């Protein structure tokens, strides 16, 4: 079976490369401009990380034109052409660094720096350009999170059914929402806005760092960022999923593997921070967070779970939550986050007036 899997992977990889070579020879479906999709970055005192993707989209469609237009607009997000071999330049603090996009169009910067973290959390900025490409992308200013040294709390949060209502446990409902609903059509999870505001103090400029770990594909980054902005969810770097095929992966890794790897990366990057883990029990969050607590007990301040499957008190999820509680990490698990403020208050978080007002709309 392992041999069959390797052969299937090799065949699929070669097929995708053939398709990519063919599409590069075809006339452009869009306006001919290369689009740089840059994702919010983050840094500590010794390293700065920024990533993104080089693609060419089809012409933009107006999703307000009706049902069919909405479906076509969402499909266009997924149906992008990736551009490999494009040089991307990052300029910051008087220096510049170059990387080249890979066969899936992705680029990643991990730049050594010597720059102390600020006392209060802030967003720095870097500039990205594609200096040597014949269809030059305009420069893009990318926000980079710099957590403050005045507070050592941070948040690692899921997105689907934790922040945004998706119905991820219902296949048909989830895909209807993915294909039809715009960011302004989607609903925020009850209690999420006020709870996250309580932690952040200011959703536009959080005084505590937020990181979002999700199995949603990178194609949805812009959609998710738009939704968070509209619903007063704190800004933060996202760790989404690459669902393509390359020499190291076949389609994608599982939900748990992707999330555990991303969380471990965050914990290693910020060794002085303690994190709240926030998610739901519709897929693998509870299992993932239990594994993180086992390996990093002293780094997790609390686990807050939204119950979308009725498994808080029975089954494997209940066993995982009991294990988390046994080692002394507080656990909250209920149908919404409306009553979760008490857990945070027990940890010393204060509920400011801004959080109370945000809660009125959640």
What are the structure tokens assigned to 281, written together? 């029990």
Angle between helices 171-180 and 67-78 (to 10 degrees): 100
What are the structure tokens assigned to 122, written together? 């802030």
d(CA 87, CA 105): 11
97: left (phi over 0), alpha (psi -120 to 50) or beta: beta
Closest CA to 39 of 145, 192, 181: 145
Specify whether the CB–CB gap between 297 and 290 falls below 8 A.
no
Q: What is the pLDDT of residue 27?
A: 45
For tokens 């902005």, what's the residue?
Answer: 229
DSSP structure string for 189-210: PTTHHHHHHHHHS-SSS-SS-E
- How distant, in Å, are the alpha carbons of 119, 160, 293, 312, 335 from that of 208? 11, 21, 21, 28, 25
Residue ranges of domains in the chain, CATH in brackets:
30-146 (2.60.40.10), 153-360 (3.40.50.1000)
pLDDT tens-digit profile, the chain (362 residues)? 444 444 443 443 344 444 444 444 444 444 456 789 999 999 999 999 999 999 886 555 455 566 566 666 666 666 678 899 999 999 999 999 999 999 999 999 999 999 999 999 999 999 999 998 766 667 999 999 999 999 999 999 999 999 998 865 555 555 555 555 666 777 899 889 999 999 998 777 788 999 999 999 999 999 899 999 999 999 999 999 987 655 554 445 567 899 999 999 999 999 999 999 999 998 899 999 999 999 999 999 999 999 998 888 889 999 999 999 999 999 999 988 888 988 898 888 876 554 444 444 44
184 by DSSP, 3-state: which? helix
d(CA 101, CA 84): 5
Q: What is the pLDDT of residue 282?
A: 86
Q: What is the pLDDT of residue 354?
A: 46
DSSP structure string for 74-110: HHHHHSPEE--S-EEEEEETTEEEEEE--TTSEEEEE
Residue 60 DSSP one-character state: P
Q: Which residues, at least 6 apart from 58, have a Cβ–Cβ distance to it below 8 Å?
A: 29, 30, 76, 79
What are the structure tokens assigned to 320, written together? 């995982």
d(CA 243, CA 179): 17
Q: What is the pLDDT of residue 357?
A: 46
What are the structure tokens assigned to 110, written together? 């991990």
Angle between helices 255-269 and 285-295 (to 10 degrees): 40
DSSP structure string for 295-347: H-GGGEEEEEEE-SSS-SSSHHHHHHHHHHHHTT--EEEESSSTTTHHHHHHT
Specify whether the CB–CB gap between 76 and 57 falls below 8 A.
yes
Q: Tell me the longest C-alpha to C-alpha distance in the chain.
A: 61
d(CA 206, CA 223): 21
d(CA 355, CA 361): 10
pTM: 0.83
Residue 14 DSSP one-character state: H
Closest CA to 191 of 225, 227, 163: 163
Specify whether the CB–CB gap between 34 and 219 falls below 8 A.
no
């Amino acid at each position: 079976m392992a041999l069959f899997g390797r052969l299937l992977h090799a065949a699929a990889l070669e097929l995708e490369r053939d398709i990519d070579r063919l599409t590069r020879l075809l006339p452009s479906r869009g306006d001919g401009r290369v689009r740089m999709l840059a994702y919010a970055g983050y840094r500590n005192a010794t390293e700065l990380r920024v990533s993104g993707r080089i693609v060419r989209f089809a012409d933009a469609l107006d999703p307000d034109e009706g049902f069919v237009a909405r479906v076509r607009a969402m499909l266009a997000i997924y149906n992008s052409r990736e551009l490999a071999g494009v040089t991307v330049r990052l300029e910051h603090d008087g220096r510049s660094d170059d990387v080249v996009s890979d066969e899936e169009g992705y680029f990643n910067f991990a730049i050594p720096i010597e720059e102390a973290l600020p006392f209060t959390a802030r967003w720095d900025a870097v500039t990205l350009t594609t200096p040597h490409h014949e269809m030059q992308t305009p420069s893009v200013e990318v926000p980079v999170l710099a957590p403050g040294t005045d507070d050592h709390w941070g948040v690692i949060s899921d997105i689907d059914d934790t922040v945004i209502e998706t119905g991820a446990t219902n296949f048909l409902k989830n895909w209807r929402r993915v294909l039809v609903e715009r960011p302004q059509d989607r609903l925020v999870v009850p209690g999420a806005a006020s709870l996250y505001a309580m932690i952040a103090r200011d959703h536009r400029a959080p005084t505590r760092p937020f990181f979002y770990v999700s199995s949603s594909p990178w194609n949805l980054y812009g959609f998710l960022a738009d939704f968070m902005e509209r619903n007063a969810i704190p800004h933060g770097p996202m760790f989404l999923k690459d669902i393509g095929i390359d020499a190291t992966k076949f389609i994608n890794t599982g939900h748990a593997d992707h999330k555990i790897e991303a969380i471990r990366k965050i914990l290693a990057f910020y060794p002085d921070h303690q994190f709240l883990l926030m998610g739901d029990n519709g897929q693998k969050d509870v299992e993932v967070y239990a594994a993180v607590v086992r390996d990093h007990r002293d780094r997790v301040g609390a686990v807050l779970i939204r119950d979308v499957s009725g498994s808080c008190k029975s089954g494997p999820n209940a066993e995982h939550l009991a294990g988390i509680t046994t080692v002394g990490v507080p656990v909250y698990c209920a149908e919404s986050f409306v009553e979760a403020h008490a857990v945070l208050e027990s940890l010393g978080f204060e509920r400011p007036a801004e959080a109370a007002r945000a809660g009125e709309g959640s």
